Chain A
Amino acid sequence: MTDATNIAPSGGVAQTERPQRSRTSPIIGAKLKGLSDRSIAWLFISPTILLLLAINIFPLIWAIYLSFTNYRANKPGVPVKWIGLRNYEQILSSEDIWGYLQVTAHFVVFSIALQVILGFGLALLINKRFKGHATWTTVILLPMMLSPAVVGYFWTYLFQPQAGIFNYIVGFFAGIAPDSFTMIGDVNLSPWAIVLVDTWMWTPYVMLICLAGLRSIPDYIYEAAEIDRASQWRQFWHITVPMVLPFLMLAVLFRAIENFKMFDMVVDLTSGGPGSATELASINLKREAFENWRTGYSSAFAIILFVTVFGAANIYVKFLNKVKQR
């Protein structure tokens, strides 16, 4: 009889597995033996929980505390004063901040709307399984595999009025000189420029999710509809759309959260300009925190943004669950 058989209960365990158990130290094994499943589970996940507390929860609590102070990270020697809600008052009464939030809302709403329409449309096409659909899927997915910073730089060149291909294409179809307009230098066009680039990059992502939704619809539902002589439109409207809707809503949720905190791509593309035409809330937050060094103020701003996104996402998820239960 081996040590393993002394330690482990023999009932139900195949003899061939026993030598593996012998690797466990008899002392640890004995100690573990006395623990309940729940305790063992806690034992395994506690390091992760501690790590999460240290790098997620503690900074969050610290940021909440700082948001009520006048703390500046570039003035280490200056005593930190508790100023109550003054940072929040300042932010919520600032016209500029409301302007940045408006710019952000414009970006989030229009980019998601376009991505949903185009992504869903592309998914319907790819789902037809035409010849070469796999190759086309790969080609369509390429933009989302690039780094947002690279995409930002890349599109600054494409938008270049003299040499950029974008202006040539638009100029060709619109019958105007390519250098007669500038996408990222014009205060009216630049908000659309960032929407366009984000749509180019992330439509494939929405397409993928929609495609997963479309492929999850069993064929027999369509076959039954065919037997009932339902038109293509009725099939689409009464079968495809409702069954893909939860997937679509999930895509909207992910994209909305991502776009609300969009930073790198837009910074590389426009630096928030011209003027403040594309200054998203996240860009302004970075300026306040790491250029102006108003740490307390920027913490308050971050908390406001966090609460807004978290609250909106929660409401949305409840709505999403209702849709799924239908």
Chain B
Amino acid sequence: MRFWKTCLAAAALAAGIAGIGAGNAQAEDKQITLCWAAWDPANALVELSKDFTAKTGIQMKFEFVPWEHFADRFLNELNSKGKLCDLLIGDSQWIGGSATYGHYVKLNDFFDKNGIKMDDFLPATVYAYSTWPKGSPNYWALPAMGDALGWVYRKDWFARPELQKEFKAKYGRDLAPPKTWDELKQVGEFFQGREIDGKKVYGMAIYTERGSEGITMGVTAALYAWGFQYQDPNKPYHMDGFVNSKDAVAALEFYKSLYKCCVPPGHSDAYMTANLDAYKSGQVAMQMNWFAFFPGIVKDPDVGGDKSGFFVNPSEKVEASTLGGQGISVVSYSDKKDLALEYIKWFAQPDVQKKWWSLGGYSCHKAVLEAPDFAQSAPFAADFLKAMSHVQDFWQEPTYAELLQSMQKRVHDFVVADKGTAQEALDKLVEDWKQVFIDDGKLTE
């Protein structure tokens, strides 16, 4: 009897283990992996995606990589045809390469079949995050995270009567969020080296990072405002007189003057996190950063609430902002494309998009952005809308990485390392870029 009892128990245990195994296998079959950068909006997406799992039973797994390694890690994954990511929220610059080399699934038929209309999304975001060739109706991503470069300032410092008075006496106007680059510099100079609450503070934190894309994103904020164009609109890939135009030289010189006059000491290799740190620790009066970080600033115990205000990228000749943000794509090497598409279908719904915005993600859906109360929904919402209406992006060519690395080197050499003149830096940049396009067969020697 004892023997039979033991056998029965063993059989039950084996069945249990087998059951668990089968359950796991089933759960894995109904699980997809979403890859993105590790930052606040990604955490919001985890929260949002719980609704997707509840509705469809499809489990979500997330692979988030810090920004410094984001491009390296996931471009490597795509180039090696890896199956890690079923869905990828990839940088806007990747779209050209990913479409050309077949990393992303083309979504046109899927959109048509499921009634997903690109007209429902802000045109600038569709153009920037979804299309390749640029502006064509070939969609490789759904606009997922709208983003642009904006500015944050210490509203509480600006509001101090003694500073207001001193500023007005010096510059003949109120100490207010700057509208032009000259005003921005004046404010920066005004705060540089000043003592506030017993602590030495500085003018502003701008992007100066050398390793990935930092200084390019910062410099282009000035270049675009001076009317910069990457190429002759009538003669694609011809850059002489555009990239190195007089206005471009002036903008680059101006950016360098900001670096020289108004940043904290040692702010020579700074990107998103360094700027946030400088601002949150009360070192600077202003910082340039992506709108994606602004919900975090509003919630911050030290600088949040009424202590911070926001403004769009100042204009000079035109109104323009550097584009950030990304679209969500289905990776063509995934074995679970159908489940990944299911996610995109769910994510495109207006209600989901509304919740996405409320959680801290930047929806690109018109149902959210054009809602009457949108501008009042957050302290930075109106500025975000304004910025998104005149964004410009870096090259989205398949060779974007080489183009980016050249620009990083040339502008960092000039702005931070004091090497040569702005004209020389941009002339060299044109030479570098020409070579890249010659090698890519888009220009002839």
Given contacts A185-B266, A271-B211, A273-B417, contact A291 B79 (CB under 8 A): no
Whether B417 lies near A162 (C-beta < 8 A) is no
- Chain A residues numbered 256-292 whose CB sits less than 8 Å from any CB in chain B: 267, 270-277, 287, 290-292
| Contact status B417-A275, CB under 8 Å | yes
Residues of chain B from 382 to 410 with CB closer than 8 A to chain A in the complex = 398, 401-402, 405, 409
Answer yes or no: B75 CB below 8 A from chain A CBs.
Answer: yes
What class of interface size applies to chain B in its complex with A?
A: 20 to 34
* A275 adjacent to B412 (CB under 8 Å): yes
Instruction: Tell me whether B417 and A276 are in contact (CB under 8 A).
Output: yes
Tell me the chain A residues, 149-199 only, with Cβ under 8 Å from chain B.
159-162, 179-182, 184-187
| Selected contact of A185 from candidates B102, B267, B402, CB within 8 Å | B267
On whether the beta carbons of B210 and A272 are closer than 8 Å, the reply is yes
Give B88 Cβ to nearest chain A Cβ, in Å.
Answer: 15
Instruction: Name the residue on B nearest A156 (C-beta).
Output: B269
| A47 is an interface residue with CB less than 8 A from chain B | no
Smallest CB-CB separation from A181: which chain B residue?
B265
In the complex, the answer to whether A74 meets B405 with C-beta atoms within 8 Å is no
Tell which of A181, A187, A271, A276 has the most Cβ of chain B within 10 Å. A271
Known: A161-B265, A179-B265, A185-B268. A291 touches B413 (CB 8 A): no
* Binary CB contact string for chain B from 59 to 93 against chain A (1 if under 8 A, 0 otherwise): 00000000000011001100101000000000000
Tell me if A75 and B417 are in contact (CB < 8 A).
no
Residues in A whose Cβ lies below 8 Å from that of B417: 187, 273-277
* 8 Å CB interface, A199-246 against B: none
CB < 8 Å A-B pair total:
96
| Per-residue contact bits, chain B 95-107, to A (CB 8 Å; 1 contact, 0 not) | 0010001100000
CB distance from A157 to the nearest CB of B (A): 10
Query: Is B409 within 8 A of A160, CB to CB?
Result: no
Of all chain B residues, the one with the shortest Cβ separation from A183 is B266
> Which residues of chain A come closer than 8 Å to B283, judged between CB atoms?
162
Cβ-neighbour of B210 out of A162, A182, A274 (below 8 A): A274
Query: What are 19 sample pairs from A and B whose C-beta atoms fall under 8 A apart?
Result: A74-B401, A77-B102, A179-B265, A181-B265, A182-B266, A184-B266, A185-B269, A187-B416, A187-B417, A271-B269, A273-B210, A273-B211, A274-B268, A275-B409, A275-B417, A276-B412, A277-B417, A292-B401, A292-B402
Interface residues of B (CB under 8 A from A): 71-72, 75-76, 79, 81, 97, 101-102, 200, 209-211, 264-269, 283, 398, 401-402, 405, 409, 412-414, 416-419
Sample of 13 further A-B pairs with CB below 8 A, known A73-B79, A270-B269: A74-B97, A75-B398, A77-B101, A161-B264, A182-B268, A184-B266, A184-B268, A187-B419, A271-B210, A271-B211, A273-B417, A275-B419, A291-B405
